[in-house]
Amino acid sequence: MNYEVLIPVMRRLAIEAGAKIMEIYNSDDFDVKVKSDDSPVTAADEAADAIISAGLTETFGDVMLVTEEQSESHAAKGDTFLIVDPLDGTKEFIHRRGDFTVNIAYVENGVPQRGVVYAPAKNRMFFTQADGQAVEETGDFALDVVGETTPINVADSDNAALYVVASKSHRDQATDDYINKYNVKDMKSAGSSLKFCLVATGEADIYPRVGRTMEWDTAAGHAVLLGAGGNVVRFDDHTPLVYGKEDFANPFFIAYAPNVELKEA
C-alpha cells in the first residue's frame, strides 16, 4: 500500500462523510431504524457509508473493503483490508451528544497500520501520517489542504495516579470492577473511538473495554493509538488485538500507554 496516496484519500473521505453527517445531525428530525442485530442505524450512517465506500473503491478497488453498514455481505478474506465505520457512536448521534466519529483504517497482516478518526461535532481530527506518526489536525479541515498538525504521544503514565477513560453508553459493573484494580486519579467518559484518541493524546492512560465491539469500531482508533506509541491487547491474556477474524467480532480488550502496569482480568 502506498501510504502517501492512502492518507490524503482517507482524510478527505472522512471530512466529506462528516459534513453529510452534520447536515443530518443539525436537521429538525431524522429517522432511526433497527438492524438485524438490534443496533440502531440512521440516514447519516447510510449516507456516510455510501460516500466513503465509493471513494475508497474508486482509488483502491483491488483492496478488500469492509464496512459496518455492508457487513452482512462480507466474509473475512485474509488479514489485509480497508475497514470503515461511517458513523461510530450512533447512539451518541441519536441523542445529540456529539461523541460520534467517522472511522477509516487500513489493516495489513492483522494490524491496523494507518487510520483516521474524525469527530465532526467536536471539531477534532486524528490520523496517522504516511510515516506512521499519529497527529491531531486543527483548523478548517479543508478537503485537500491539511491544516496545522501536532504530533501526539501517549502519556508518561504514573501508576499511582492514572487517568481512565471508559464508554459513555456501555459502562457496566464488570468494567468498574476492573478499573477498581488500579490507582485512579480521575475518570472520564467518552463515546465512540474517541476513547482511543484520548489515550493517544495523553489525556487518558488506559481504556478497558469489557463489552462487545466489532473490528470497524476499533481499527482506526487502534491505528492512531499505535502511531502515538500506545498498545491494544486482549483483556484475557494481554496478547495483541488482531484483525481479520471470521465474524469481525473483537474480544474484550485494553488500550493503554506502555508505562501502565496492566492488571490481570
**Rounded average pLDDT over 20-35:** 79
pLDDT of residue 172: 80
Quick one: which of 98, 80, 132 has its CA closest to 22? 98
The pLDDT assigned to 263 comes to 96
**What is the second-level CATH architecture of the domain 162-256?**
3-Layer(aba) Sandwich (3.40)
pLDDT at 48: 95
Mean pLDDT, all residues of the chain: 91
Helix (H) or strand (E) holding 213: none
pLDDT in tens, 225-235: 999 999 999 99
Instruction: Please report where in the chains the cell 464496512 appears, as a residue.
Output: 67
**Is the entire prediction scored with pTM above 0.85?**
yes
Which pLDDT score is estimated for 76?
53
- More confidently predicted of 169 and 176: 176
CB 91 within 8 A of CB 40: yes
| Whether residue 89 has pLDDT greater than 70 | yes
pLDDT of residue 98: 86
Q: Answer whether residue 12 shows pLDDT above 90.
A: yes
Please give the average per-residue pLDDT across 133-149, as a whole number.
96
Per-residue pLDDT averaged across 201-226, rounded?
96
Model confidence at 47, pLDDT cuts 50, 70, 90, reads very high
| pLDDT for 29 | 73
How far is 24 from 255, CA to CA, in rounded Å?
32
Asked whether residue 138 carries a pLDDT value surpassing 80, the answer given is: yes
Task: Kindly report which listed range (4-13, 33-42, 78-87, 240-249) carries the lowest average pLDDT score.
Answer: 33-42
For the chain, give every domain's residue range: 3-151, 162-256
For the purposes of burial, counting CB atoms within 10 Å of the CB of 203, is it exposed (0-12), middle (13-18) or buried (19 or more)? middle
Q: Which fold would CATH assign to domain 3-151?
A: Fructose-1,6-Bisphosphatase; Chain A, domain 1 (3.30.540)
- pLDDT at residue 191, rounded to an integer: 82
Using the predicted structure, report yes or no on whether residue 74 has a pLDDT greater than 70. Answer: no
Question: One-letter amino acid identity for 188?
Answer: K
